[in-house]
């Protein structure tokens, strides 16, 4: 059965595709087959894209490239793409970006010029043909693609963040089988620098574990992509942040990005969202796994990008939109320095990020790097990232990354029946604060990591309502990764709370401890935040990656 995967378009701003087709142009004169399946509702008249030059007609609508306040937002709250183009004269040249999505209108006049000949796969027909939209609603991948690499200076519509990057288009979400997803994530590994994936698990507070084939595909990509430099995988942080909303000041946060098994993985960049004021939209999810944010929409303004039928839309939003912003910024970095590894790109994006929304109460400034669970290390800044890349000394790829313990050994482990586990977790009291249970893992100097890049945490607990639990990881320098918090889950929408899933060696991921040293005592704290049920903590594990 195909796994459940959802596009990361904000539900408040989701827009149906057109239900009536008019013929559209495209083609670009390359050798890519562009015949949609026979049962498509859409038909295409394939003509050459007009070879025009001049300012893009709708570029001024795209506040995310250069925010001049045109959307009613704050001047300067943007991805700094135009600034990067101007200062460094890079626009994504020589870098291939694979869009893994539902469909891509590769014949669109703003997309066709950047399509790499033959760099397509249609999973509906299992053939090397363009994965064109077929039905109303098949518009997601086209919008995502335009944000990354819509052609600039062709006197047509707008531009992408990296408007001269090359496109590879794979519609694995059209079938959404585990095998097709894994295939798309490793297709053309030697040539694709970046894989953009604006999709993830359902935003319902449930624990959604990634398939083994997905984990293996990402690992293969970071190890073998680009001749060992590693492919860059960008995924959305998710849109499930607001569970109950009565106004913009009173929102109960339900979902956490760490409940999505696709984005708490070693090797994945989890992208959050900020609006045109540099603040988290209501749908934004917190997470210790979030690296950087890209611009996206809110209830007042949205993202302007390419649409099906050679069209242009002004209503795209969600972390589906912020993810390709980050992919575009990564493409600019690699265009300036194609020798950099996947690890270099991650670090450059994190180090160069802007500390947006500086008065937000959850900024922590006491660690090795400022961090906010809603913003990661801040808003991605393409200009600053390319500037930093100019003189960057590579940290190497997978071959030089240190794992503690080594991956040939089990992780640091507590539990498995050894005392003091299992530890009883008392129910949340009706009055007063919860009783916190704590355990510790001491890591000695034998771990040679002085700068952490990623922490993988395994957590096991037995509880009839796993959503009751708050789980925190605390580093030797007292920096806290909040991995889970109390929440109610109702995936079937029947109004009855359900168990949020099983904590059976559940994998959490954290980038929050970037550049901290490993040696010292790492603590985990667990508490019950919602009343009526009790459970037990069965154990936990740690593994670190870094240099």
Residue 513 is a catalytic residue: no
Q: Are 306 and 157 in contact (CB under 8 A)?
A: yes
Element (H, E) at 83: helix 81-88
At 398 the three-state DSSP class reads helix
Sign, CA dihedral 87-90-91-95, equals negative
Nearest to 333, CA basis, from 65, 90, 78: 90
Dihedral-angle region of residue 190 (phi above 0 means left; psi in -120 to 50 means alpha; beta otherwise): alpha
Give dist(CA 201, CA 188) in Å, integer. 25
Burial 322-332 (b: 16+ CB within 10 A, else e): bbbbbbbbbbb
Annotated catalytic residue: which of 49, 257, 296, 320?
A: 320
Q: Are 238 and 193 in contact (CB under 8 A)?
A: no
Annotated catalytic residue: which of 64, 108, 109, 140?
A: 140
Strand partners, 376: 372
Give dist(CA 108, CA 309) in Å, integer. 7
- Give the number of other CB atoms < 10 A from CB of residue 247: 7
At 211 the three-state DSSP class reads coil
Residue 227 is a catalytic residue: no
Annotated catalytic residue: which of 78, 101, 188, 472?
A: 101
Nearest to 166, CA basis, from 92, 222, 110: 92
Residue 101 is a catalytic residue: yes
Positions annotated as catalytic residues are 101, 140, 320
């Amino acid at each position: 059965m195909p796994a459940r995967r959802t596009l990361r378009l904000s539900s408040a701003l989701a827009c149906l595709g057109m239900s009536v087709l008019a013929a559209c142009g495209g083609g670009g004169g390359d050798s890519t087959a562009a015949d949609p399946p026979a049962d498509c509702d859409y038909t295409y008249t394939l003509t050459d894209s007009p070879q025009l030059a001049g300012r893009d007609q709708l570029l001024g609508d795209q506040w995310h490239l250069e925010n001049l306040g045109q959307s009613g937002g704050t001047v300067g709250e943007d991805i700094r793409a135009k600034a990067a183009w101007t200062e460094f004269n890079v626009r994504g040249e020589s870098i291939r970006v694979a869009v893994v999505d539902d469909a891509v209108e590769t014949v669109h006049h703003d997309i066709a010029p950047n399509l790499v000949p033959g760099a397509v796969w249609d999973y509906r027909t299992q053939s090397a043909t363009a994965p064109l939209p077929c039905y109303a609603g098949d518009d997601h991948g086209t919008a995502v693609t335009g944000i990354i690499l819509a052609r600039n200076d062709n006197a047509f519509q707008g531009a992408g963040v990296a408007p001269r990057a090359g496109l590879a288009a794979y519609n694995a979400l059209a079938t959404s089988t585990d095998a097709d997803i894994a295939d798309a994530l490793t297709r053309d590994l030697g040539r694709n620098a970046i894989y953009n994936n604006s999709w993830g698990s359902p935003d319902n507070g449930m624990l959604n574990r990634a398939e083994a084939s997905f984990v293996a595909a990402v690992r293969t990509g970071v190890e073998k992509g680009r001749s060992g430099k590693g492919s860059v995988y960008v995924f959305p942080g998710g849109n499930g942040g607001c569970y109950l909303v009565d106004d913009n000041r009173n929102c109960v946060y339900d979902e956490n990005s760490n409940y999505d098994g696709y984005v708490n993985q070693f090797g994945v960049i989890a992208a959050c969202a900020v609006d045109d004021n540099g603040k988290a939209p209501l749908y934004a999810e917190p997470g210790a796994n979030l690296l950087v944010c890209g611009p996206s929409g809110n209830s007042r303004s949205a993202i302007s990008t390419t649409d099906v039928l050679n069209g242009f839309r002004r209503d795209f939003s969600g972390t589906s939109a912020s993810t390709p912003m980050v992919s575009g910024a990564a493409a600019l970095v690699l265009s300036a320095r194609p020798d950099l590894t996947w690890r270099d790109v991650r670090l450059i994006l994190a180090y160069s990020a802007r500390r947006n929304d500086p008065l937000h109460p959850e900024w922590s400034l006491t660690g090795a790097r400022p961090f906010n669970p809603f913003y990661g290390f801040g808003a991605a800044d393409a200009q600053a990232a390319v500037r930093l890349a100019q003189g960057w000394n590579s940290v190497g790829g997978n071959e030089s990354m240190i794992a503690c313990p080594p991956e040939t050994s089990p992780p640091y482990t507590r539990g498995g029946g050894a005392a003091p586990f299992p530890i009883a977790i008392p129910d949340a009291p009706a009055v007063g604060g919860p009783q916190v249970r704590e355990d510790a893992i001491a890591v000695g100097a034998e771990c040679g990591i002085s700068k952490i890049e990623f922490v993988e945490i395994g957590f096991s607990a037995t509880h009839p309502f796993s959503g009751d639990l708050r789980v925190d990881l605390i580093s030797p320098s007292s920096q806290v990764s909040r991995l889970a918090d109390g929440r109610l889950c109702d995936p079937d929408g029947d109004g009855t709370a359900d168990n949020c899933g099983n904590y059976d060696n559940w994998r959490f991921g954290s980038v929050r401890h970037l550049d901290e040293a490993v040696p010292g005592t790492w603590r985990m704290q667990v508490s019950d935040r919602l009343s009526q049920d009790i459970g037990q903590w069965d154990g936990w594990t740690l593994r670190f990656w870094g240099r």
